[in-house]
């Protein structure tokens, strides 16, 4: 679980805190788990240092085991409130911006990019699948994985059923196409999902612009692979 945390620090902290809640619920029913509580605090401290996350000062670890547990629980409770408040505010701000864009388009008569419900849900599924495939890939180095996951998360952040802006998608597609051109067919099944996601987004773009002919994305992003298939 620790190796699969989201790229966003607050979302990653939310995942860590959810795991702590599971542990805490179990620990209260069984024998002393002092060292496990201390380990949980160590995980948070290491996360903050590695990710550059700004966390409140950690409680001191002293000789009183029950006091340590109480201090750790108090610290994590405050952190949980902070994380939940940030994620709730972020969701509210995102909803506010999305609805503002939607009604600006309505009032200014500017058409929006609109995804049919099945396409929108499939796009979300593909994003989730790509996130896991990037992290598990043996071909991509750690820097490439971080860039791809970050740009994928940015794409997810702007992807709504109705939106006026999908600029971040192009940043992700550019990063992904470099890897696809470099590794070719060896990067499947990542390439297949990138192409399918791109097809969904570009279809929405063409629909807004009144264009009916969809280009062959594989030819654009993986020309050498297409040429090899043609030769065969």
- Clarify whether residues 132 and 191 are in a common domain: yes
Kind plus residue range of the DSSP H or E element containing 70: helix 65-108
What is the per-residue pLDDT for 159?
84
**Domain count of the chain?**
2
Identify whether the C-beta of residue 36 lies closer than 8 Å to the C-beta of residue 23.
Answer: yes
Q: Can you give the residue range of the structural domain that contains 20?
A: 2-89
- Clarify whether residues 151 and 82 are in a common domain: no
- Clarify whether residues 133 and 225 are in a common domain: yes
Closest CA to 197 of 99, 141, 131, 110: 131
- Clarify whether residues 146 and 221 are in a common domain: yes
- Clarify whether residues 81 and 117 are in a common domain: no
Give a yes or no: residue 53 inside a domain.
yes
Give a yes or no: residue 137 inside a domain.
yes
- Clarify whether residues 181 and 80 are in a common domain: no
- Clarify whether residues 78 and 157 are in a common domain: no
pLDDT in tens, the chain (232 residues): 888 888 888 999 999 999 898 888 777 756 588 899 999 999 999 999 998 988 999 999 999 988 999 999 999 999 999 999 999 998 898 888 888 887 877 776 666 788 889 999 999 999 999 999 998 888 999 889 888 999 998 888 888 888 877 888 999 999 998 888 888 777 888 989 999 999 899 888 888 777 765 555 555 555 544 455 445 5
What is the per-residue pLDDT for 113?
83
- Clarify whether residues 219 and 134 are in a common domain: yes
- Clarify whether residues 116 and 224 are in a common domain: yes
Burial bucket for residue 25 (CB in 10 Å: 0-12, 13-18, 19+): exposed
What is the per-residue pLDDT for 98?
84
What is the per-residue pLDDT for 101?
81
- Clarify whether residues 65 and 166 are in a common domain: no
- Clarify whether residues 179 and 125 are in a common domain: yes
- Clarify whether residues 123 and 23 are in a common domain: no
What is the per-residue pLDDT for 97?
87
What is the per-residue pLDDT for 232?
52
CA dist 164 → 7, 10, 194, 205 (Å): 25, 26, 22, 10
What is the per-residue pLDDT for 182?
85
Burial bucket for residue 47 (CB in 10 Å: 0-12, 13-18, 19+): middle
């Amino acid at each position: 679980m620790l190796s699969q945390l989201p790229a966003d620090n607050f979302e990653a902290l939310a995942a860590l805190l959810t795991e702590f809640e599971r542990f805490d619920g179990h620990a209260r029913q069984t024998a002393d788990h002092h060292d496990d509580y201390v380990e949980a605090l160590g995980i948070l401290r290491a996360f903050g240092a590695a990710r550059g996350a700004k966390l409140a000062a950690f409680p001191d670890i002293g000789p009183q085991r029950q006091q340590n547990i109480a201090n750790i629980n108090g610290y994590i409770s405050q952190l949980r409130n902070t994380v939940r408040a940030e994620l709730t505010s972020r969701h509210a701000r995102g909803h506010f911006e999305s609805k503002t864009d939607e009604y600006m388009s309505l009032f200014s008569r500017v058409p929006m990019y609109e995804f049919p419900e099945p396409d929108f849900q499939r796009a979300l599924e593909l994003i989730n699948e790509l996130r896991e495939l990037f992290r598990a890939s043996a071909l991509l180095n750690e820097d490439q994985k971080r860039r791809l996951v970050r740009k994928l998360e940015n794409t997810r952040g702007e992807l709504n059923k109705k939106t006026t802006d999908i600029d971040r998608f192009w940043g992700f597609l550019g990063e992904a196409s470099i890897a696809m051109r470099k590794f070719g067919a060896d990067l499947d099944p990542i390439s297949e999902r990138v192409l399918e996601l791109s097809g969904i987004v570009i279809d929405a773009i063409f629909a807004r612009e009144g264009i009916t002919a969809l280009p062959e994305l594989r030819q654009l992003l993986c020309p050498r692979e297409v040429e090899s298939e043609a030769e065969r």
